[in-house]
Amino acid sequence: MPLLAVAAGVAFWQIGETGRNAAEEPPPAGIAEAPAGAAPCTYERSEGEGSAELPPARPQKAGLVQVTMHTTHGEVKLELDADRAPCTVNSFVALAADQYFDSTPCHRLTTAAIFVVQCGDPTATGTGGPGYRFPDENLPVGNLPAYPRGTLAMANAGPGTNGSQFFLVYKDSDIDPNYPVFGKVTAGLDILDKIAASGAPNNDGPPNLEIIIDAVEVS
């Protein structure tokens, strides 16, 4: 199966605790704050991509985090699992807070063998990213199918290259378990079905029915 994201650069360096400090900011109402002793995340700067702020080095959320993705076709509601994928959720929430995803297209639809709508690249080329990467976590090894309908997972170009691109699975897909699962779609699968039904060039490319993420709201 083709890699779901293309690396724009290969040079990177260790960041550790030097990311922005959002620990002093209280979490929004209804979202559990991660315990003070939560293990730190490692976010490494990468060249040839964007320049988003680094997420906090320590996860800011715990438990299940509710997210609404406002799109040009309606709302897609997501539930992020910060206990199983703390660093992935930490990054996604930080990017959402920085409005990184706002006014960006879901640039890729696959309709053969694997069945996903891929988003999170402001350049819409499949090579864009936030300017950092982080290790894999919560890989669905041993699960059949590895990525069932409704799964929310990171796209990457190989181990440890997760950035901002993610995909939503609209039909059970036996993808190699190399892409971190960090949540699920709880409402709006009908929107994904509509996008999928429109098709894509050669079964893999920009969806014929364009979908734009207007905003991502963490509640």
Question: Looking at residue 186, what is its pLDDT?
Answer: 99
Q: State the pLDDT confidence band at 43, using cuts at 50, 70 and 90.
A: very high
What are residue 103's phi and psi, to 5 degrees? Answer: 60, 35
Walk me through the domains of the chain, giving residue ranges and CATH numbers: 12-218 (2.40.100.10)
CA dihedral 91, 94, 96, 99 (to 10 degrees): -130
The pLDDT value given to residue 47: 82
In angstroms, the CA 123 to CA 106 distance is 10
Express each pLDDT in 49-72 by its tens digit. Answer: 778 999 999 999 999 999 999 999
Structure token digits, residue 80:
């992020």
pLDDT digits (tens, 9 = 90+) for 6-35: 444 322 222 222 233 333 334 343 345 555
> What mean pLDDT comes out for the span 32-42?
71
To the nearest whole percent, how much of the chain has pLDDT over 70? 83
Q: Report d(CA 58, CA 143) in Å as an integer.
A: 29
Mean pLDDT score across all residues of the chain: 87
pLDDT in tens, 175-198: 999 999 999 999 999 999 999 999
pLDDT tens, 99-130?
999 999 999 999 998 999 999 999 999 999 99
- Interval 127-148 mean pLDDT: 97
**pLDDT score at 106:** 99
Whose structure tokens read 């819409």?
124
Structure tokens at 78: 């997501």
Could you tell me which residues are beta bridge partners of residue 183?
80, 152
The whole-number pLDDT of residue 34 equals: 58
pLDDT, position 16: 27
Instruction: Convert the pLDDT of each residue in 71-81 to its tens digit.
Output: 999 999 999 99
Rounded to two decimals, what is the model's pTM? Answer: 0.85
pLDDT at 210 over 50: yes
Tell me which of 94 and 19 has the higher pLDDT: 94
